[in-house]
Structure formats: structure tokens, C-alpha cells
Structure 1
Amino acid sequence: MEYLPGGDLCHLLEHQGAFEESKAMFYTACVVLGLEELHRNNIVHRDLKLENLMVDVHGYLKIVDFGLSKDGFRNGDRSKTRCGTNCYMAPEIIDEMAYSRAVDWWALGVVLYVMLMFQFPFDAEDDMELFESIRNDKPALTEELSEEAQCLILRLLEKNPCHRLGSSETGAEEVKAHEFFEDIDWEEFLEREQMPPFKPDVSGLTESTRQSECQAWGLMPPAEAISAQAQALFEGFDYSAE
């Protein structure tokens, strides 16, 4: 795994507080493109959360931790495996119903809400109350948020997965077309030509320093390189072992 000096979004929020909409828009756009790539490759993440969104050396987000992801999951496929992090779980996962890739878009709605509101949309004293809130409550929004931001949050946190933004056959294209992203040039974004709101300072880090940091976190290189055939399966993703 490459060195990601910006840390995760949870860490960034703890230090900076709620993000301005322009900043939240940038990071949300990063995740939209990441989910688009995953879903295009028939992968559902199922554990999208602030801690699994890390800032790379260029200031862009990377989706990490595929421990709960499921591959071979095509558009229209369903699963009943209950997994994920409680605060980010979609209602259909909680109720152990057959769910689709729309669960990733729900989790993105939670991420966006926390970035803008600095609190979770559904919260409670215990898990039972939390799940009841996720099933039944409408997330509280402030008038300080733009109509576009409020609309996107509510469309992503739609209880009915069939009506949730991103659940249609067009998937990510439906999300990208939302008015919240009106100022985003998606082609420029893919080419990383958009200026990130925060870029980690790595001027004092040498390559050996980066390697020692990774080793300190237990990120040791594999004993043997995997075959080129196996490595090809991961082309286009942020993790590779060579």
C-alpha cells in the first residue's frame, strides 16, 4: 500500500471541525469516483466510513480497507450478509434484507453529513436505539447548508434503497449529475487537475522515512511477489503488492 501522509478523514475532521461545503464537495467527489470504479469492477465495499477514506500525497482521497467488500457483485445482485460499521449501515442491512450496491451510496450520505454537520445523522445511547433511528428518523439539517447539499444528503439517506440516489442502472452517473456537484468538472477531477483543499506537507520526508513509517504501522512488504496474472486482478485499485 502506498504511503498516505494526509491520514484519514476522521482525523482531519477531529482537528479542523466541520468542513465548508466546497471542501466537503471535493472529498465527496473523490469517493463518488472511487465507488464508480469499484462498482464498475463488480465490487461492493460495504464498510465505507471516515476511517477508510485517506488523503494521499496529492490531497485526493483513497478508499481503503476491503476486508468486508464483496467482489463479483454485479448491478442487480443481492446479498444478505450483515456487515459494516453500525453508524454507517443502511436500513436494509440492519433488517437483514437482500441488499444491493446502494448500501455504499447510503454510507456516502453518512460521510457527507458528518463532514458538514460534525455529527452523525443517526445517534443513540445503544445499538438498538441507533438501529431504530436509522430505520425511522429523518436526519436533522440546518438552514446554513445549501439546498443542494441538503437535497443530496436526503437523496443518499433515502430509506428505500430502490429510490436512493445511485441505485438506478446508471449508478454513479446519477450521483455525479446532482446539482451539488455543479461546479465539478469530472474529467479534470479524474486527471487530478482540481486543486485539493488540503495537501499534506511531505517536504521533510525521505523515502527511507516513509518506509520506516509504514513498517512502524505493521505494513511490511510481502515475503514473495505475487504473480503478474494475480496482480492484474487489482489493476486500477489503490493497493498492490509487488
Structure 2
Amino acid sequence: MTSSIKLNSALMEKEILLLAKQEQHPFLTGLFASFQTEHHVCLAMDLAAGGDLTKVIDHPEFNYKAAIFYSSCIVLGLEFLHEHNVIHRDLKLDNVLLDASGYIKITDFGLCKKGMGVGVLTTSPAGTPYYTAPEILKREPYGRAVDWWSVGVMLYYMVLHRFPFNGLNMEHLFEFIKYSRAIFPPKVPADFSSTTKGLLAKFPENRLGFNGAEEVKQSPLFCKINFDGLLNKKVTPPIIPAVQSSSDNDTNLMVTLYGRKAVIPDSVSEALQNFDYYVG
């Protein structure tokens, strides 16, 4: 990854983290501080001590209702980003963390793209293979609907503990994503299969969420969710992470920087002039 790409990613990450902090959205990771040294740029984020969803799904209390709870929180976080004309482009279980109270925090905004209003399309490749929408793999112009595809993949995995598409190698995986239908066991709940199939529609214009988050919220799986209560954290989370030690909630952290020291070009230094930020 070139220095310019890394710089753009760091600046985008900071911008979305700062937006989440300023708007105090409960399900997006916010910025705690940003600063730079002679050789590094650093981002300090809200603490989420409960691990990511790839670990949480192995919890003995994780069940179908938990999958719906976390998916509902993700829908609200994604709705906020889209309302601010931002697409995430790398939504996956690894990028959804749990805070100490058991609510989710979407994170990793380095691949986000701004200016993505209704009907706006882009072409730059982005994402993680198993979660990438067909239109990206086909190198077609794409918009907000790619994020709803990723939500469908996450929902499918949380309920069935496997990806909806797989392959012997990346080439086979991409072919399955582009042209095959996801398989649903016959005994899964009808509301789950209906909503997930909608999210995994191959063509974005047919995909659940293409017309906005409200479309997803009114789908069979989510239509009975109290989204206002959830947004205000009035709904009890299904799993409360166990804090292993007092240090798990320690925000007085010392940062030690490792790795090869980079020479920062003048153009990068200029772009970072207003990078420093501290919660005051």
C-alpha cells in the first residue's frame, strides 16, 4: 500500500470517527484522540472491550435472538452513515465490536467513501472477499447497496455459522458470489430467509435496502424491532462481555510505537496539519 493510500485511509478514518463522536451515535466507534509523531500518525478510539462479532458468536449464550439484536444495531449504524452520504465498503463481523455494556460499535472506516448520496455511483474496488457485493466483483459502478449486501452476509453467518458463498479458491468464490444463489436449510425461520434473501439479491436495484434503511427495518425479520428503543439503548443486550481485569476498562493507556520509521514527505505533512484532535 502506497503512502498516499495509507494517508487517505487515515484521514478518512479520522473524519468518520470524528463524525461519530460529534453526533454521539451509539453504534459507531468515535474518535478519542488523533495525533502525529515525527514518523507516525495515531488514532485513539472509543474503548470496546468485548471483542468482535467473530468471537462473540462462539459465546454459549449466542443464539438466533442475539443475531437479530446485533443485526438491528448494525442496520441503525449503517442508516446513520448513509444519511450522511457515506458508504462503509468493508462491513464484516471483524469490524463490529462489543463495548462493555454489550452494545455494538461499528469500526474500521478507512475504506469509507463520502459523497455517496442517493443514486451516486463509484467504481473503485474495495472490501473483503467473502463480504463483497457482486457488482464490485463485476467491476460495475456501485452505490449504497453494497453495504446492505454485506449486512446480508453477516446475518447469514451469525445464524447459520457459515458464509452464504464459498469456493476452493478466490476465483471460485467470486464466481459463486456473482452468479449463485445462497442456500437456506429448510427449517430456518421464514422471516430470516425472506429478509436475508432480499439483502443478498444479485442486482442492487432488487436488493433490500436499495431504497433506504427503512425498507430493511420494515422487512419480515426486523419489522417488530423497537428501533427507537434500541437507538436509545433501552433494549437489554443478549450478552454482557466479561471484563477479565481492571485493565480491560483502563483508558489511561501508554502507547509504544514499533516498526520501521518512515520519512514523511512534505506533501503528507501539509495534509496532516490539522490532524491532531483531543476530546476536551
Tell me the distance in 2 between the aligned counterparts of 1:196 and 1:215: 31
Would you say how many aligned residue pairs link Structure 1 and Structure 2?
221
- Of residues 222, 227, 245, the one that matches 1:186 is 227
After superposition, the Cα gap between the structure-2 partners of 1:207 and 1:87, relative to the gap in structure 1 and judged at 3 Å, is closer
SS at match of 1:27: helix
Q: TM-score, normalised by structure 2?
A: 0.73
- Of residues 189, 192, 196, the one that matches 1:146 is 189
After superposition, the Cα gap between the structure-2 partners of 1:115 and 1:217, relative to the gap in structure 1 and judged at 3 Å, is farther
- Of residues 232, 241, 254, the one that matches 1:200 is 241
**Pairwise CA RMSD of aligned residues?**
2.4
After superposition, the Cα gap between the structure-2 partners of 1:6 and 1:207, relative to the gap in structure 1 and judged at 3 Å, is closer
Alignment partner, residue 33 of structure 1: 76
Aligned-partner residue type, residue 65 of structure 1: D
Say if 2:72 is the partner of 1:8: no
Alignment partner, residue 164 of structure 2: 121
Alignment partner, residue 108 of structure 1: 151
Alignment partner, residue 235 of structure 1: none
Larger Rg: 2
Alignment partner, residue 99 of structure 2: 56
Give the drift of 1:85.
0.3
Alignment partner, residue 180 of structure 2: 137
Q: TM-score, normalised by structure 1?
A: 0.84
Aligned-partner residue type, residue 250 of structure 2: T
SS at match of 2:105: strand
Say if 2:133 is the partner of 1:90: yes
Aligned-partner residue type, residue 174 of structure 1: E
Tell me the distance in 1 between the aligned counterparts of 2:239 and 2:61: 14
Tell me the distance in 2 between the aligned counterparts of 1:116 and 1:156: 14
Give the drift of 1:209.
3.4
Structure 1 residues 114-152: Cα deviation after superposition (integer angstroms, max 9, x where no partner): 001111110011111001100111111113320000011
SS at match of 2:191: helix
Give the drift of 1:17.
7.6
User: Which sections of structure 1, spanning at least 5 residues, go unmatched?
Assistant: 219-225, 232-239
**Could you tell me whether the CA contact under 8 Å between 2:69 and 2:237 is conserved in 1?**
yes
Tell me the distance in 2 between the aligned counterparts of 1:17 and 1:98: 42
**Could you tell me whether the CA contact under 8 Å between 1:18 and 1:118 is conserved in 2?**
no
- Of residues 198, 218, 225, the one that matches 1:177 is 218
Tell me the distance in 1 between the aligned counterparts of 2:249 and 2:92: 30
**Could you tell me whether the CA contact under 8 Å between 2:145 and 2:209 is conserved in 1?**
yes
Alignment partner, residue 117 of structure 2: 74
